[in-house]
Amino acid sequence: MHPKNLAIQTFQQKFGAPPAFVARAPGRVNLLGEHVDYNDGFVLPAAIDRATYLAFSPAASGETRLYAADFNESACFTPETLESKTEPDGKAMAEWARYPAGVMWALNRASLDTPALNGVFSSDVPRGSGLSSSASVEMSFGVAWQKLGGWEITPMRMAQLGQQAENGYVGVNCGIMDQFASACGEAGRLLYLDCRSLSWQTMPLPDDISIVVADTSIRRKLTTGEYNRRREACETAVRLLKEHLPGITALRDVSLEDFNRLCVTLPEEVEMRARHIVTEIERSRQAIPLLESGNLARFGGLMNECHLSLRDLYQVSCPELDVMAMLAQSIPGCYGARLTGAGFGGCTVNLVKNEHTSAFAQDLTQKYTEITGLQPEIYICRASAGAGLVEF
């Protein structure tokens, strides 16, 4: 059943009446600008047409009662039980409930009212595969409390509060991109975000192009250490390059020319990591005129270059991601393919001409399974609108 209908039906069963409202918030995929958010770079995500749907009504009881239809689990909290991450009866809050509770926490800290609600939610954003199911859950609750609280903030502000929820309450160190894309998405458009100034704009994605996400089915645990080491290498690069370029505060400020001149002063590993960042930021700058003029062939070429850079310089790929990206690049109708997200497993993102998408998906699945023995998941997506209330 479609998650929207499941949320509505389950709401009726659990609360004995139809919901007053339904909120929708999409997942996202990033097309270019990988690992550059913490280097003040540019990212190019799109909200996708897979989303979390939250059916909700105001609750008179003062307690927010939630039901996660995809887990068949309920949870309950109030502003008073938030700090202790417990339910009113004292039991520990379920992990999934920390995302909505975190949103309440972040909104309250910003002095935004979060009236108690009864809610049921369900999602077709796959969990934990890098399409940001967590941000979609957060943004659906942001929309709900905005409606019931009677206040209004910009989608970007909502995204920031969602990020605070995830950083400060759930305890996950994510950047702003996920919540930003879920909150600010536009149908048929890519988003272009400057991670330093947070200014953003949209870019056209031609109607005849689909975003195809291919999940390797590989999940690597304990990648946080690798991630932190990459961040440290970037910081080291800035510190060392600062001796020659005193004005810089992030790798964003280093031109490719300066980098090529000064890279001999860096230890080898630091140089490799920083070269990925500097070239990736350069690629994302080049992407703008290409997208504006609809030159998907050259934009796809930048995606392919990005994969090689992530594989060879940033070293966050894995054999399954490499197989998936290389196979895709050789299939007709595919403009570009690369790993997306933090790496070490998860998904690739591919730009594919509409008329080729089914053949592409079949071909990719078959060849990937032949080589790896694994069964991939393929999601054919369209760029979609950001979070909001929907008709039902």
Which residues does 374 contact at the CB level (< 8 Å), separation at least 6? Answer: 216, 217, 218, 320, 368
Determine, following the binding rule CB under 6 A, whether residue 163 of this chain makes contact with ligand ADP: no
For ligand ADP, which stretch binds (CB under 6 A), given 93-101, 147-155, 268-276, 293-301? 93-101
From Mg ion, ligand ADP, none, interface partner of 130 (C-beta below 5 to 8 A by class) = ligand ADP
Determine, following the binding rule CB under 6 A, whether residue 134 of this chain makes contact with ligand ADP: yes
Q: How far is the CB of 163 from Mg ion (least distance, A)?
A: 11
The SS3 call for residue 170 is helix
Residue count (the chain): 392
Q: How far is the CB of 134 from ligand ADP (least distance, A)?
A: 3
> Hunting for tokens 């995830």 — which residue is that?
166
Which residue among 21, 67, 77, 96 contacts ligand ADP (CB under 6 A)?
A: 96
Cα(167)–Cα(144) distance, rounded to whole angstroms? 21
Cα(253)–Cα(77) distance, rounded to whole angstroms? 45
Measured between alpha carbons, how far apart are the two ends of the chain, in Å? Answer: 15
> Do 286 and 302 contact (CB within 8 A), yes or no?
yes
Cα(84)–Cα(77) distance, rounded to whole angstroms? 10
Cα(379)–Cα(29) distance, rounded to whole angstroms? 11
Determine, following the binding rule CB under 6 A, whether residue 130 of this chain makes contact with ligand ADP: yes
DSSP calls for 289-334: HHHHTT-HHHHHHHHHHHHHHHHHTS----HHHHHHHHHHHTSTTE
Q: How far is the CB of 56 from ligand ADP (least distance, A)?
A: 14
Number of residues that bind Mg ion (CB under 5 A): 2
> Do 56 and 7 contact (CB within 8 A), yes or no?
no
Determine, following the binding rule CB under 6 A, whether residue 179 of this chain makes contact with ligand ADP: no
From ligand ADP, Mg ion, none, interface partner of 71 (C-beta below 5 to 8 A by class) = ligand ADP
Q: Which is nearer to Mg ion, 32 or 342 (CB)?
A: 342
What residues between 21 and 60 interact with ligand ADP by CB under 6 A? 52
Residues with active-site annotation: 178
For ligand ADP, which stretch binds (CB under 6 A), given 58-66, 131-139, 211-219, 232-240? 131-139
For ligand ADP, which stretch binds (CB under 6 A), given 67-75, 207-215, 219-227, 359-367? 67-75
Which residues does 30 contact at the CB level (< 8 Å), separation at least 6? Answer: 43, 44, 45, 177, 181, 340, 341, 349
Q: How far is the CB of 132 from Mg ion (least distance, A)?
A: 5
What residues between 130 and 169 interact with Mg ion by CB under 5 A? 132, 134
Q: How many helices (H) and strands (E) does the chain have?
A: 11, 13
Q: How far is the CB of 29 from ligand ADP (least distance, A)?
A: 11
Determine, following the binding rule CB under 6 A, whether residue 210 of this chain makes contact with ligand ADP: no
**Residues in the site for Mg ion, rule: CB under 5 A?**
132, 134
**Residues in the site for ligand ADP, rule: CB under 6 A?**
52, 68, 70-71, 95-96, 99, 123, 127-128, 130-134, 137
